[in-house]
Structure formats: structure tokens, C-alpha cells
């Protein structure tokens, strides 16, 4: 079983080490100093007191690897469109693409049913290119619950968690998704196969859509955002808007807003990935985590005044820092009028 991890940074590097340690035939696609270090010294995972170094194939050229059984995308979600052509040599008629990224994935409305079946979302998949050229029918969903960092080129630091829920867009438990889950488990991770993967996507996104932009605007850590009454109320307002949109698409939330906020508070003095990106001068994942929810709100006619305001500010912040060139549009005047 040939597996390629495309964008083997913090999360992809963690997966790469775990899969390589389990004996999987895994190749990593990366670039720059991180790629050079992995080629020279291997890829090292630091997890608590443990240290593991592996030596999988590492390249920046997918053509060297050929057709894969699974391509696990662990790029930042806003980078996916930019590598569609480079990814083609990895894709054969039976290749499955696993979207191990935050936010709404390109395949979201594949096998969704109802009036939105086969719709594409401009904020995450401009022109529907990912849908067509990667293939919605190839997709397997994956939620990334662990936190990891690139501590130095070629070195991944595991911070917490090992849970990567997986699921087919159709909800079926197919041999493809089961085989991948079994491999993840053999590699020391949790990988429950879900028959309602979209519920879990929104549960994760529920936090990202509010905590990430608020943290980038305030530089506050999760515990502070969730404790300060004003930022907690703003988070709640965005989450309530988000919940309304998701429920219109048939999503079921297994916890309520307060419990979700409490869960984030307990994570502690953690900087969200968007704040870390801002501080490190790296492009911020605004469209896949925030703009897409606004776009889905507009699709359903649900106003998102709190989200619109925060999105306007975080987009401006990112543009000024030179870390955003996405699609975010000005807040919908109709939504602001409702506010
Ligand atoms: N890290 C975490 O703790 C968590 C991350 N996530 C999500 O997981 C996803 C991945 O995040 P994360 O691992 O942190 O991101 P990283 O930026 O650490 O990893 C992505 C890697 O892909 C590389 N890359 C980008 N473009 C290319 C290209 N064209 N060719 C080859 N390599 C490329 C990047 O290199 P370069 O640095 O040069 O751009 C980087 O090394 C995101 O959606 C994130 O939100 C979710 C939960 C937690
Ligand atoms: C830590 C957390 C859960 C914040 O929403 C996250 O996923 C991120 O930083 O992107």
C-alpha cells in the first residue's frame, strides 16, 4: 500500500514518522530547508521524552513517486489549489485523497444529497478546480485533532493528541477507509471511522471559525479568549451563527456551544495556528476556516453579522502583514443591517 503525504510539515511530518515506524511504504512531499534537513538527517519526532528518527523517501517532485493508493494532504488548506497540477502524477483510477486539513474540504457537497449536491465553494476551491482535477469521488474526510509543530527543519514536536477521525463523504464504511484506519491504528493513532464525517468537521471548525481569528486580532491564547467575558461572548455569537448554517445542511452537533467553549478553555495557554502563522509571517488560513462559513451562510440566506465583523478585521490585519491574498469579500450589507 503506497502512501504519499503531500505537505509534510507539522501534521504531515507527525503522520509520516508514525506511519514509517509502523513499516508503511510512505513518501513525503515537502520543500525548502525542511525538505533538505529530512533528506540529509531523516525526520525526527519529539514526543514527550521519546525521540524517533525515520528515513522515508522525501521529495518536492511528485513525478518521482508515481501513482499512490492514498495521498494524504496535510498542506495548509489555502495551498491546495496551487499544487493541483503537481499532484497529478500521484493520482490513478483507484487513488484515494485524504483531506487532513482544518476547515471545509473541497469535496464537502459530494454525496451530500439535497439541493446543494455537487455544489462547489468559491472561498476554498476557486473555479471548482480541486473538485474536478483532484476529484471529489477520490476523497476521504479526515479531522485533525492533534497539535504538532515544526521545531526545526526536519524535527517535529508533538504537543498533544493522536486522534484522526476518518470518513467517506457517503457515510459508507468502505474497505478503502477501513484499511487506512487500520493502518493509522497500527501506527499508534486513533482513527475512528465515522458514518457522519461532516458532523465532526463542523465540530472542529466551530472552534477554528471564532478562536483563530479572535486570537490573531488580540494575540490572546485560548484560555484567555474563553475566559474573558467579552471575547467569550463574541466567540459564542459566531458559534451560534455557524451552528445555524451547519444545521441547515443537516449537521448534528453532539455538544452545545458552552461545552465546546469550555473544552477549548481547558486546552490552556495555547496560541491558535492562525496566531502562530501571523507571528511567524506565514500566510493565514482565513478562507478555509472563516470566509467559507460566511459563503455557506450566504448560500442558505443566514445572516452572519458577528462573523462578518471579525472576518473583515482579520482579513485587513492579514493583508497589512502581507499574509493574505485570498477571496474574502466585504461583509454582506444585508447581514450587517440585521445586526
Ligand atoms: N499543526 C497543528 O497543530 C494543527 C494543524 N491543523 C491543520 O492541519 C493542516 C496542516 O497544518 P500544519 O501541518 O500545521 O501546516 P505546515 O505549514 O506545518 O505544513 C505544511 C507543509 O507543506 C509545505 N508546503 C507548502 N506548499 C508546498 C508545496 N507546493 N510543495 C511542497 N511542500 C509544500 C509547507 O512548506 P512551507 O513551510 O515552506 O510553506 C509545510 O512544510 C492545516 O489545515 C492546519 O490548520 C489542524 C490541527 C492542528
Ligand atoms: C487549537 C485549535 C483547536 C484552535 O481552534 C486549532 O485547531 C488551531 O489552532 O487551528
Where along the chain do its domains lie? 2-186, 197-338
Which bound ligand lies closest to the C-alpha atom of 83? 1
- Are 77 and 288 in contact by the 8 Å Cβ rule? The answer is yes
The predicted-structure confidence for 162-214, as pLDDT tens digits, reads as follows 999 999 999 999 999 999 999 999 999 999 999 999 999 999 999 999 999 99
Residue among 60, 56, 224, 74 at smallest CA distance from 148: 74
Q: Give the pLDDT confidence score for residue 329 in this predicted structure.
A: 55
User: Residue 264 CA: which ligand 2 atom is closest?
Assistant: 3
| Integer Cα distance of 41 and 54 in angstroms | 9
Residue 98, strand partner residues = 72, 140
Assigned architecture for domain 2-186 = 3-Layer(aba) Sandwich (3.40)
**Mean pLDDT value across residues 312-319:** 97
Say how many Å lie between the CA of residue 75 and the centre of ligand 1. 4
- Judged against a pLDDT cut of 50, whether residue 4 lies above it is answered with yes
**Which residue has its alpha carbon closest to ligand 2 atom 7?**
208
Give the list of residues 6+ apart from residue 26 with CB closer than 8 angstroms, or none: 3, 4, 5, 16, 19, 20, 56
Catalytic residue (choose from 204, 252, 266, 271):
204
The predicted-structure confidence for 111-124, as pLDDT tens digits, reads as follows 999 999 999 999 99
Q: Give the pLDDT confidence score for residue 326 in this predicted structure.
A: 79
Say how many Å lie between the CA of residue 273 and the centre of ligand 2. 6
CA distances from 325 to 74, 145, 209, 283 (A): 20, 27, 19, 9
Question: What are φ and ψ of residue 100, in 5° steps?
Answer: -95, 65
Of 2.40.110.10, 3.30.70.930, 3.40.50.720, 1.10.1040.10, the CATH number of 197-338 is: 1.10.1040.10
Give the list of residues 6+ apart from residue 333 with CB closer than 8 angstroms, or none: none
Amino acid at each position: 500500500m503506497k502512501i504519499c503525504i503531500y505537505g509534510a510539515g507539522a501534521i504531515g511530518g507527525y503522520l509520516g514518522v508514525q506511519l514509517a515506524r509502523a513499516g508503511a511504504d510512505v513518501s513525503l512531499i515537502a520543500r525548502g530547508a525542511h525538505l533538505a534537513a529530512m533528506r540529509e538527517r531523516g525526520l525526527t519526532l519529539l514526543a514527550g521524552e521519546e525521540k524517533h528518527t525515520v528515513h522515508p523517501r522525501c521529495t518536492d517532485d511528485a513525478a518521482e513517486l508515481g501513482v499512490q493508493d492514498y495521498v494524504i494532504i496535510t498542506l495548509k488548506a489555502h495551498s491546495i489549489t496551487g499544487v493541483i497540477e503537481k499532484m497529478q502524477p500521484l493520482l490513478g483510477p483507484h487513488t484515494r485523497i485524504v483531506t487532513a486539513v482544518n476547515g471545509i474540504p473541497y469535496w464537502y457537497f459530494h454525496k451530500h444529497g439535497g439541493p446543494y449536491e455537487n455544489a462547489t465553494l468559491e472561498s476554498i476551491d476557486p473555479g471548482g478546480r480541486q473538485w474536478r482535477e483532484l476529484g471529489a469521488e477520490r476523497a476521504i474526510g479526515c479531522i485533525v485533532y492533534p497539535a504538532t509543530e515544526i521545531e526545526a527543519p526536519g524535527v517535529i514536536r508533538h504537543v498533544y493528541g493522536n486522534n484522526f477521525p476518518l470518513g467517506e463523504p457517503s457515510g459508507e464504511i468502505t474497505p478503502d477507509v477501513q484499511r487506512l484506519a487500520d493502518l493509522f491504528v497500527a501506527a499508534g493513532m486513533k482513527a475512528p471511522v465515522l458514518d457522519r464525517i461532516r458532523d465532526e468537521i463542523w465540530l472542529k471548525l466551530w472552534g477554528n471559525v471564532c478562536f483563530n481569528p479572535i486570537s490573531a486580532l488580540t494575540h490572546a491564547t485560548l484560555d484567555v479568549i474563553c475566559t474573558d467575558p467579552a471575547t467569550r461572548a463574541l466567540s459564542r455569537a459566531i458559534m451560534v451563527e455557524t451552528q445555524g448554517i451547519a444545521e441547515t445542511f443537516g449537521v448534528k452537533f453532539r455538544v452545545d456551544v458552552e461545552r465546546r467553549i469550555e473544552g477549548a478553555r481547558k486546552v490552556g495557554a495555547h496560541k491558535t495556528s492562525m496566531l502562530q502563522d501571523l507571528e511567524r509571517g506565514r500566510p493565514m488560513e482565513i478562507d478555509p476556516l472563516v470566509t467559507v462559513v460566511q459563503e455557506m451562510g450566504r448560500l442558505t440566506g443566514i445572516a452572519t453579522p458577528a462573523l462578518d465583523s471579525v472576518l473583515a478585521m482579520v482579513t485587513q490585519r492579514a493583508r497589512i502583514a502581507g499574509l493574505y491574498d485570498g477571496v474574502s469579500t466585504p461583509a454582506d450589507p444585508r447581514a450587517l443591517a440585521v445586526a
